[in-house]
Every structure is written in structure tokens, then in C-alpha cells.
Structure 1
């Protein structure tokens, strides 16, 4: 007898009061480390700022209100590949009857949270001063091991495997052809969607090149590409300690991060500060409520360790996979405040590049930092491919 078709079920997010009481007790009992005077963010998270955040988290942060706000989106879970996958699915507002399906893939340290500001702009552009004909049906899944998707019990899935799950998810939802977009790890996932499912992905948009290591003879690279490779190496030496931990010994760090909410916040907010276009002032890009909502999605689900393990899985992807060229029409929006932006020559070498823009504002979390600008980028890029998505 054939297996039954995977059946999505509505997902209701509701946190038990006891879980919040336990969290507040841990926050109030934080055992703080010392810090050099005037260290600021130079050696990691600014301890003075973090203490302020933790005090707000313990005494004033209204998680039930944030939870209610997240529940405004239709959310579901569906079994795929032996795992329960959580996703947001918002169909385009009327009168957009021919909306283009679009799957958005998040990265670390976030979840479906990354796209919560931009979803309404994409599904109902007419209500936000844009052309209603540019509407999308938007799907935003949580990667296995992140958010409200199941954690793999044996080993983390790599980006190739996740792309396979996303292709299956879009089939379950009735979309034969669709667009794909993403940032950070989501760029990798979107890339493999285009590589492994080119008959289904009509076009792919990314906000970074994924910091690959170009293969082959370095002498064959342009001067600009060689400079970029040096920049990537320099960035890794000064900013990449977190990734080395994730790739090699994630379980060691996970013990402390999963036990201490202050420690978890420190690990996450340091990246929000360093990678956003905030000029060093994190609250220029994110409010405390926004930051803590992101952190809460890790704390309540206990997924910091499982999310980190995906780095280890991706590090084991064979070099031949990394060297494949994407032939699906590819677009990049390289936001001004993002990290180590690849040169055009590399994007042309590694993809069928049809669009490259450089928005003047926004960083690594562009969809959250600059949702209006990000939505404009996606509308413009995918506009020529809407007819193809109907095939």
C-alpha cells in the first residue's frame, strides 16, 4: 500500500506560563562575568548593554504579545523525510489571482522570524503602495533543527538535503514551479534548490554568495576575485570563531547556551550587532522586543545546539558540490552593510547572473532590517519570471 500523502496540520504556538516563570528565574539569577573597562563590543557582546537587555527580558518583555503577533500568520506543520516541518504559508491577497509562489529560506541565528516583516509586503503589495500584480504566495519554512521544525535525531541535515525537503514541501502545497530566495544558510539552500531542481525553480535570488572558497587554480581568478578571497580569509580570522565552534565542537558550547538564557542572548545578539547595518548601535536595526523574539524562538524550542550542528553538516559537503554552477537565472542584492560581499566576476563565474544590485542600506538581515527595500528587490527581480512560474 503506498504511503499516504503528507498532510499539513495547523500549528498553534502557545507557551505555558510555567516555562516563562522558569525563564525569568534563570534571568534573575544570571551569574555575570567580569569585563574589561570600556570594552564595548570589541571583545564580543557589550556586557553593559546585555545586562540592560536581560533586565528588560526578565521584568518587562511581553512574550504573550509577541507570540500573538507571530500567530497572525497562517502556520502549519507537515511530516517530510521523517521530520515535522513548521512553515508559514500566506497566499496573495485578492485581486492577485496569478500570484507567483515563492519559498524563502532563513539562516543562522534566526528562523522564520527573519521574514516576518516582509511577508505582508510580498503577499499584499497593493496595500503597501506597490503594484498588486507583483503579489506572491509566500512559504517560509523553519529548517530542521531550527524554530518549530523537528530536530534531526541522528545528524543534522546539510543544505542539499534541506533543499530536497523544500522541493517536496512545495509539491505538497500544489506548486509545480516557483521562485526561491534566501540569505545566509538560506542562500546555500536556495542555491541547491536551483541546482538540483532546475525544472521547478524558475529563478533564484540571494543576498550573499555564501562565502564559498573558489576552486581550481587561483591564477585563473581576476584580481578582484583574489582580493575577495583574501578578504574572506581575513574576515574568518577575526570574526569566524563562532563558525569554527559550530563546525567542530558544537555540543560543548550548546551545553552552556541551552542552559543560560543570558548566554544564549549573548551568542545571538553579538551577530545581530556585527552583521547588521547599524553603525555599531544594535538598536538602530532591531528593537529589544524584536531581538528577544528571535532569541525566544531558540530558547523555548531548545534548538541552539541543533541549529549549530548544521554548520558541521555543511562543512562535510563534497568540494565538487561547491564548485557546481547555477544555470537557473540568478539575482543578487548585495546590501551595503552585509559581510564580505562577493565581486561580480565571482557571481558570473558561479551562476547564470541576470541581475546584480547594491542597495545603499541594510545588512546581513536585510529582510528584517529593510523590509520595504528587500520587498522591492524581490518584486523587481522576479517580475520577468512570473509567466514561467505558471507552467
Structure 2
């Protein structure tokens, strides 16, 4: 294989001024729908107009661009596809390599506030022995990674690519963490149990109760079941669309920045731990940073196809997962799992904790808490 296909090269994100000018024009020319007629129909017109007004007049992409480049931006080719990643090495000699896996509608930027505390814990009030080298790849079809041009890029294939990535970076032993689709990728990695993988941690357990477990549910488990039912009945329309007709919605996501913002903002509104205003728990500019990671590379359709791909992969194995794994369950998460459900499916539960605050976007909502959950999970593996 050509060395050009196996090297990891620095990659500087530099968006042309013309692309930002085009975005501003499109935002100015937005044709807005009429006002919603009732609650719970999606993001309210006034809220989205205010978001897009700020996007057009007060938001600074160059600030975000600098953050990406300062974190350590690289590209490499995995399984024939160009992949963008963040890679930050710790100054501590005992640091363990940590793979962080994002989902939709997230990006590598979800973890920006984790990188410093994880790589240099002493500088952030922690202990040197809790240090990690941090690797954050961007999913195929997401952000500044290339877009697949053929089918087959579901969580299992991505898992194989990330295993190869960790070896390519020279890491013989490592751990993995994920949320959302990142949890599915980490689950696929951990079930493969590659020789270098020491353990895993997820903040969205890939655990779904059986009919018997539903019948035997404790009051707390019943609450989890009801929350999942509410999500499936009222909030997962985006997932159904992307699982069945991603190309259909892709045209709107590619052409309308306001439409893309609404499509993504819905998730921040529905599954963060908020009191009706997601911008109280995730800064407005950070939400727009995530939107930009889909707008600038025109990744609306290509990222949506991950749902379509996942629907066509084999279902989860019924065999217990052999990899030591930790679980952090946040109260605002749509899909939760009790300790006993987890322990029936994993042979070695390193850590389990139900948190008091936080939702689906744990790294954005509760970064300090998630850092400590990761540290706690992997201490016994050092």
C-alpha cells in the first residue's frame, strides 16, 4: 500500500471567504414558514429566526476554525476514505490513548472542552495518573471527513476503521468512549475485542429491555421505559426519515441553512436536560458550531445516511459483551438503562452511575462530569 495512504498528515481547516459570504446571503434570503399553531411541533419560529439572525450577524466561524486547528487537526486514509481527526498527546508519560467517538448531529467539536482536562489533568486540577492521549475522528460523511460514495459504511465498518486508526497512530493499548452513534461504534469495537482494547465507556448504553424485563421493571426502570416510549412516539421523526429516505431530506439540508439549523436544533431542544431553552445548557455559538460542521462540508445528506446504513446491519448479538465497560446514564438522555439490565449483557462492568444532571449531549452539557466519569471508569485498567 502506498505510504501516502497510511500516513497521518496535519490538516489545516481554512474555509474560503466566499463560502461564508454565500451562507450570509442564503440566511438573508430565507423564506420563513408561518408560525406554529401549537406546542411541541418543533422549534418555534421566533426562536429559529433569532438563532439565524445571530448566525448571520454575530457568529464568528473563524473563532471556531482556530479552535479546531489548535486542538491538533489531521487527515488520513482508512479503508479508502479520507478521515479527519483531532489528535492531542498528553505530556504525561503514563497517559493512556483514548478514542472519543461522536454521533449525529454532533462532531469532533463535542469534545473540545474535554481535551485539555483529559490530556493535561494537572493543569486542570486533576492527577497526572489520570492522563490520556486523545484521538477524535470525524465519522465518514461527517465534518471534514470524506463522504462515502458507495453503501456499506455503517457502525461496524466504522469500528474496523477506528481500530486501524489507533494502530496507525502507534497505540498498542487503548480505551474507547462514545455517545449517540459513537456508542454504537464503541459497542461494535468492544464486541470485536481487538487485542489492544483495554476497555470502553459509553453515555448512551446500547441496552434495550426485553419483554420480560419490561414486565419485571422496577419503578425507576419503568421511568426509563416511558421516557424511551415518549421519544419514539414524539421526538424521533428525524431518525425515521434518515433511516428510510435520507436523500429526500438531504436536498433541503444542502440548500437551506435555516432548514439545516432547524433540523439540528430540534435535537438540542428535545434531548438536552433543559427547562425549555436548550441555550441555557449549550451555548448558542456552540450549537451553531455543530451546525457549521454540517453546512460547510455539505454533510447533511451524507451524515443522514448513517441511519440508513445502520438499519441494514445485523442486529446486536445476544452474547455477553466481553470488554470491560463503564456506563454513565444522564437523566435527560432518551435511551437509558438500569444497572441490572447492563450487568446481564456485559461480563465486566467497570463502572455504572446514574447522574443528576445532563442529557444526550453529555460532553457539551456536562463536560467536567463526563471527564470524571471517564477517569473513574478507566483507573482500574492502568
- What TM-score range do you get, normalising by the shorter chain? over 0.9
Aligned-partner Cα distance in 2 for 1:141–1:263: 26
Question: Match of 1:219?
Answer: 212
Aligned to 2:8: 8
Aligned residues: 377
Q: Distance in 1 between matches of 2:208 and 2:25?
A: 43
- Does the 8 Å CA contact 2:209/2:341 hold for their aligned counterparts? no
Q: Could you tell me how far 1:180 is from its partner in structure 2?
A: 0.6
CA distance in 1 between counterparts of 2:317 and 2:141 reads: 23
Match of 2:41 among 35, 40, 43: 43
| SS of corresponding position for 1:73 | helix
- 1:323-364: CA deviations, max 9, x gaps? 342111111000122213112222112223231111211111
Q: 1:30 matched to which residue of 2?
A: 30
Return the offset for 1:234.
4.0
Partner Cα distance (1:45, 1:34) in 2: 12
- The equivalent of 1:333 in structure 2 is 328
**Alpha-carbon separation, structure 2, partners of 1:200 and 1:260:** 44
What pairs with 1:264-303 in structure 2 (closer than 5 Å)?
A: 264-303=260-299
Quick one: distance in 2 between partners of 1:356 and 1:338?
15
C-alpha contact (below 8 Å) 1:224/1:343 kept by paired residues: no
Shift in alpha-carbon separation, 1:191–1:276, aligned structure 2, 3 A: same
Name stretches of at least 5 consecutive residues in structure 1 with no aligned partner.
387-391
Measure, in 2, the Cα distance between the counterparts of 1:279 and 1:322. 37
Structure 1: which 4+ aligned runs deviate by more than 6 Å? Answer: none
Identify the residue that residue 181 of structure 1 maps to in structure 2: 177
Listed as ranges, the gaps of 5+ residues in structure 2 are: none
Once residues 253 and 204 of structure 2 are traced to their aligned partners in structure 1, the CA distance between those partners, rounded to angstroms, is 28
Partner of 1:389: none
Aligned equivalents of 2:152, 2:332: Cα separation in 1: 30
| Structure-2 separation of matches of 1:156 and 1:306 | 13
- 1:86-112 deviations in Å (ceiling 9; x for gaps): 10000012xx10100100000110110
Q: Which residue, 257, 280, 289 being the options, matches 2:253?
A: 257
Root mean square deviation, CA, Å: 1.8
CA deviation map 1:240-260 (0-9, x unaligned): 111110110111111011100
- Secondary structure at the counterpart of residue 378 of structure 2: helix
The structure 1 residue matched to 2:79, chosen from 78, 81, 104, is 81
Per the alignment, in what secondary structure is the counterpart of residue 71 of structure 1? helix
